Amino acid sequence: MRVLHLFKTYLPDSMGGIEQTIFQLCEACLPWGVTSSVLTLSAKPSPHPIRVGNHQVYQAKLDANLASTGLSREVFGRFRELAREHDVVHYHFPWPLMDLLHLHARHDKPSVLSYHSDIVRQRVLLQFYRPLMHQFLGSVDRIVTASPNYLATSDILAHYRDKTDVIPYGLDRSGYAPVDAERMAHWQQRFPDGFFLFVGVMRYYKGLHILLDACRNTDYPVVIVGAGPMEARLREQARRLRLDNVHFLGPLPDAEKNVLLQLSRVIVFPSHLRSEAFGISLLEGAMFGKPMISSEIGTGTSYINISGQTGLVVPPSDAAALRAAMHQLWHDREFAETLGLAAAERYRRLFTAERMGEQFNNLYRKLLFGVAPNASVSHQLR
């Protein structure tokens, strides 16, 4: 079976949470006999398919960006050609141009749509886009969201509950490089008592300004890995607040990041808006057996992190509550270690790439052949 994935950005040009999810999905489905390809946009597209992992990436010319929406004329023809060559088309929402691609191509292939996030920021433009969006969502065969939390709280998905499945994102632990002893010793020397860790792109919804406010009058180290559009503003805030215990490390190679995940004592994830639909780096923390602190925003973050079981969940945009949670987990090591063990167990039960691959394979085959080879795609979600 051949599956074509469609999203506005992808490896090797960019690596965000959705891109990582698509990568993990393409790789995880291969053992089930599913060969995957990805069609995406690029400012400098390759004339030939690019090999990423064990799947092919096709790039169409990016002509412009409007309100975070990549636009391309070339992609219409490329999509029609590739859809004919594949058995299933898998869309990754949101990307408004994709709606037009689907409706224009009028292909007869089964279609799956991964609903990664509501449109949160562009509320004015959403009013104009809404009719097209609902026409698109209504026309695909199945919709998939990554957590029951998101399905329960999305006003958009409420219209499509009867054709929406829940399949959590998964990560392949074996794909993370072994921890390097020399780098381990380096970071242990720099942070001998451990640290709080944030990993991610510095975007408006990540809540890092709240984390910095929470770090006032504290002395435990906080390590921030990543870059992004909010970086300069956040560095200025840390300088103004004289937060000498906050360390901006910038983007790091995966091998270096894995060492920091291993050495950290707590993963802190202060995203405060629904644009954060799941939180792949939060899931990485669970995979490494770390207790977590996150905010209750009605999305998958509170499906990964169960308050009092795998970590602590605080109200969004509440620096005082975040500070109190950090204080508790820093000073009560036994409690923190218990939470981390439970987080690792929850990862193994619900969030492995193997499980995700099996469930999507079942869904694809049910759409293509009418019967799934195994049990329901939504089993064992609790």
Write out the DSSP string of 38-94: EEEEESS--SS-EEETTEEEEEEE--EEETTEEE-SHHHHHHHHHHHH-SEEEEEE-
Burial of 43 (0-12, 13-18, 19+ CB in 10 A): exposed
pLDDT score recorded for residue 378: 43
Q: pTM score, two decimals?
A: 0.92
> What would the two tokens of residue 312 be?
């602590």
CA trace torsion 306, 309, 310, 311 (10° rounding)? 80
Question: Digits of tens for pLDDT over the chain (382 positions)?
Answer: 999 999 999 999 998 889 999 999 999 999 999 999 999 999 999 999 999 999 999 999 999 998 889 999 999 999 999 999 999 999 999 999 999 999 999 999 999 999 999 987 777 788 899 999 999 999 999 999 999 999 999 999 999 999 999 999 999 999 887 888 999 999 999 999 999 999 999 999 999 999 999 999 999 999 999 999 999 999 999 999 999 999 999 999 999 999 999 999 999 999 999 999 999 999 999 999 999 999 999 999 999 999 999 999 999 999 999 999 999 999 999 999 999 999 999 999 999 999 999 999 999 999 999 976 654 444 444 4
The pLDDT score that the predictor gives to residue 101 is 97
CA atoms within 13 A on the CB side of 48: 1
The backbone region for 109, taken as left when phi is positive above 0, alpha when psi lies in -120 to 50, beta otherwise, is: beta
Q: Are 178 and 247 in contact (CB under 8 A)?
A: no
In this predicted structure, what is the pLDDT of residue 377? 47
Cis amide prior to 94 (ω within 30 degrees) = yes
Q: For 352, phi and psi rounded to 5 degrees?
A: -80, 150
What is the CB-side half-sphere exposure of residue 19 using CA atoms within 13 A? 16
In sequence order, the 6+-apart residues with CB closer than 8 A to the CB of 49 are 37, 56, 57, 58
Phi, psi for residue 51 in degrees, rounded to 5: -85, 120
pLDDT digits (tens, 9 = 90+) for 233-256: 999 999 999 999 999 999 999 999
Q: Please state whether 53 falls in left (phi above 0), alpha (psi between -120 and 50) or beta.
A: left
Residue 298 near residue 275, CB atoms below 8 Å: no
User: What's the confidence (pLDDT) of residue 15?
Assistant: 86
E strand spans, the chain: 2-6, 35-42, 50-52, 55-61, 64-66, 69-71, 88-93, 111-115, 142-145, 164-166, 196-199, 222-225, 246-250, 266-269, 292-295, 311-314
